[in-house]
Amino acid sequence: MKSRKIQAATVFVFIWALFWLGSCTHQPGVYYDNTPKVSNNCSTDTVYFQNDIQPLLNSTCAMTGCHDAITGKESIVLTDYAAVMKTGGINLQNPASSAIYRVLSKSGEDRMPPSPAKAWSSDQSAALLTWISQGALNNACTDTTCDTTNVTFAGSVAPIFQKYCDGCHNSSNPLGGIDLTNSNQLALLDSNGSLLGAIRQKPGYIPMPLGGNKLSNCEIETIAIWIRDTTLSAGSNQQQQTLGRH
Ligand code: HEC
């Protein structure tokens, strides 16, 4: 009698263990530490969730109608670290098989973000993969140095737009009629003050990046210096008519 009970208990434990192990392999990455890890220096070898990944998710995935908390298409919400870890299909054992990474390079309608939104660049996808490979931590860095000695559009400003803005403001998806990859439009936004007004989040302007955190002081300063040092405003008057501010 006794041994039968023990047998039954063993079988039960065995079955339970199978389920438990099964749930581990099918839901990798659901165990995570939400505590933010903030470094005082930004290491070029590290990809930081808060600095590098969340802004990209905000501008390309976590918007209304897609993967914000309200819409949550396919039950995927990408608005913050905990949501990404819970719903992004992160696989720490095999980072390249993480759903959030795989969808970036799928073809046709399966690709995320879906057309007409621009696909993530290879650098952006590589950064996501590195972040997962480095443990998918809730990490951030605060760089106190701000190097503005040699500000150029390609080297300094475009990377900021690519991270925070281009997902909503490119030629195939110019939200609000604004394409930040078009120099004529940049010139217009500069000439009417709305580019700096929006990123400085001044009253009277729609705060940008929409739905995301304000750019760092260094990023805002970089864009301001570039505007000051270029002749962007020249020649923009004839555009004013068609693209004028509402
Ligand atoms: C999630 C999408 C989204 C992101 C990300 C985003 N924008 Fe916008 N932006 C919009 C929309 C939508 C509008 C138009 C809003 C309206 O007209 O009601 C807009 C409007 C603007 C305007 C006009 C503001 C005004 O007051 O007239 C500027 C300038 C702008 N965006 C710049 C940026 C810059 C620079 C970034 C990145 C730092 C950025 N946006 C990121 C969606 C976005």
The CA distance from 47 to 189, in Å, is 31
194 lines ligand 1 (CB under 6 A): yes
CA triple 98-50-24, angle to 5 deg: 30
| Atom 6 (ligand 1) nearest CA | 209
The CA distance from 189 to 232, in Å, is 9
Nearest atom within ligand 1 for CA of residue 62:
1
The pLDDT value recorded for residue 128 is 97
- pLDDT, tens digit, for every residue of 104-123? 988 888 889 988 888 899 99
What is the rounded end-to-end Cα distance, in angstroms, of the chain?
84
- pLDDT, tens digit, for every residue of 6-30? 676 665 555 555 444 444 444 444 5
The pLDDT value recorded for residue 24 is 42
Query: Is the pLDDT confidence value at 244 over 60?
Result: no
State which of 79, 178, 189, 221 you would mutate to test the pocket of ligand 1, scoring each by most atoms of that ligand within 8 A of its C-beta: 178
The CA distance from 185 to 177, in Å, is 9
The pLDDT value recorded for residue 215 is 95
176 lines ligand 1 (CB under 6 A): yes
Q: Classify residue 139 as left (phi > 0), alpha (psi -120 to 50) or beta.
A: beta
127 vs 63: which has the higher pLDDT: 127
- pLDDT, tens digit, for every residue of 88-101? 999 999 999 999 99
The CA distance from 97 to 119, in Å, is 18
The pLDDT value recorded for residue 18 is 46
The CA distance from 163 to 166, in Å, is 7
Domain ranges in the chain are: 1-29, 37-139, 153-243
- What helix, strand, coil percent values describe the chain, rounded to 5? 50, 5, 45
The CA distance from 47 to 24, in Å, is 26
User: 140 burial class (0-12, 13-18, 19+ CB within 10 angstroms)?
Assistant: middle
Q: Is the pTM here over 0.85, yes or no? A: no
| CA 118 to ligand 1 centroid distance, Å | 16
- The structure tokens listed for 233 are 């405003």
